[in-house]
A and B are shown apart, each in its own frame.
Chain A
Amino acid sequence: QKEVEQDPGPLSVPEGAIVSLNCTYSNSAFQYFMWYRQYSRKGPELLMYTYSSGNKEDGRFTAQVDKSSKYISLFIRDSQPSDSATYLCARKKNRDDKIIFGKGTRLHILP
């Protein structure tokens, strides 16, 4: 059983739309959740990290964790063509645990 599921996409949305990216996970022991953005042939860049359930907002980005349903989301408001990238969800059980990445969702923002 895969620990984390993430739709690979591609997901294409028009510029200015709200983007919703999602991951599901099976291991309830995960406590820390992260979202990374990766441009083609580049290393990932940390966007958001959250601990346990709840929402966290940073500019146009909102991360949401629902531990009861084992579902994590990233919302991007006022999407821009520069947001076109692969978005990786990631999680770990505790602070010292290794980070497990999802396969990533490819996002295309259409100008």
Chain B
Amino acid sequence: GAVVSQHPSWVICKSGTSVKIECRSLDFQATTMFWYRQFPKQSLMLMATSNEGSKATYEQGVEKDKFLINHASLTLSTLTVTSAHPEDSSFYICSAHSGGRENEKLFFGSGTQLSVL
């Protein structure tokens, strides 16, 4: 099946710094990628939809200036957590589908555990 690579797997940073997470589709072109956040024992919450070549669409309550998304190519989307604070500590997961209307066939990255000290 299709592979989505997410990097890094773990990141620990100091409060106030920025962290960039990369999401790559390795064997298909992803016109749309999705970014989720998952707190312990909680569900995946959609943060934003990343569209290649255009601005991302953010879900209600997600600060677009804090969570910067760049989808500059058909195989790469990045999420930058700016001025991270301890409350931003979470598991961030990206996903992508190769197009078409069956977006239930999402392929997920392996996730990034962010810990802000």
Contact = CB atoms under 8 A, between A and B. Distances in A.
Contacts of A103: 41-43
Contacts, number: 51
A68 B93 CA distance: 33
A34 interface: yes
Interface of B: 4, 6, 9, 41-44, 46, 49, 91, 93-95, 101-106, 108-111, 113
B86 to A, nearest CB: 19
Nearest to A50: B104
A37 B106 CA distance: 12
Interface in A6-29: 8
A49 B104 contact: yes
B110 A88 contact: no
Nearest to B49: A98
Given A88-B43, A101-B43, A104-B43, A43 B102 contact: no
Contacts of B104: 32, 34, 46, 49, 90, 92, 99
